[in-house]
Amino acid sequence: MKEKKSILIVDDNNDIVTTYGVVLERMGYRVSVAYDGNQCIEKIKEDKPDLVLLDVFLPGLSGSEVCRMIKEASQTKDIPVVAITASMSTDTKKRMTEVGADGFLLKPIDVTDLSRVIKEFVGV
């Protein structure tokens, strides 16, 4: 049997992590969770995911810094990063594009949008 694709959810809100987790597992992905930027970097080193769903608004390291770190390191730069933001201001979008974000999702996220974006980067 083909191994499940893994997705790393980075968000400090437990409710969001839980609900996204339930949905993604139902869709047949392996889900790991990080509550802040440092945890995220550690999780990637432990087990390289196929996709990172990165909340832009994080305590401690900001989403853009985390994204830059992922994209600068040679082992991790090929991991697609989808930025999740509450505001789709051009400023935020520009900053995230600069640090190498591959896609964007605007909160609140519909389950259809979520599956479409994930399929685009990871496949079924």
Partner 1 sequence: MRFFKSLKGRLMAMIAIAVIVTGSVVLVFSYFVTRSFFRDEVFLSVESVVSRTKREVQTVVSNSKDAAESVSTNIQLFENVGLYLTNPENPEIVQYIDGVLAESVLKFPEFDNIYVAGNEGTIISATSNPGPGKATTGKKAPEEALRVVNQDRVWADFGVEDGKTYISMATPIRLPDTGVITGLTLCTGFTPGIDRILSDTSGFGATGETTISRLSGSYVKTLLPLGEEGNVLADRLLYIGTDYDLPSVRAARGETGEAEMDIPDAGKEVAAYDFLPEAGWGVSASVSSAEAFSHLGRLRNIDLAVILVLLFGGILFSFVVARSFAKPIEELQRGVKLLASGRLNARVTINDGLEVSELADEFNTMASQLDEVYGTLENKVRERTRELQEANERLKELDDLKSEFVSIASHELRSPMASMKMGISTVAKELVGPLNEEQKMMLAIAEKNMDRLTKLTTDLLDLTKIETNQLDLDVGEHDLIELARDVVEANEAQACHQGLDLRVISPDIVSPDGRIEAICDYDRIYGVLQNLISNSLVFTEKGSIVVSIEKIDNTAGICVEDTGEGIPAEHIPGIFEKFSKAHFETRSEKRGAGLGLAIGRGIVEAHGGKIFVESELGKGSKFCFIIPLRGKNEREEVNTDS
Site residues for partner 1 per CB under 8 A: 11-15, 18-19, 22, 59
The residues near 68 (Cβ < 8 Å, ≥ 6 apart) are: 99, 100
Residue 71 CB, nearest approach to partner 1 (Å): 25
Residue 29 CB, nearest approach to partner 1 (Å): 16
Q: How far apart are CA 86 and CA 45, in angstroms?
A: 28
Residue 55 CB, nearest approach to partner 1 (Å): 9
Residue 55 CA to its chain's centroid (Å): 7
Task: CB nearer to partner 1: give 59 or 123.
Answer: 59
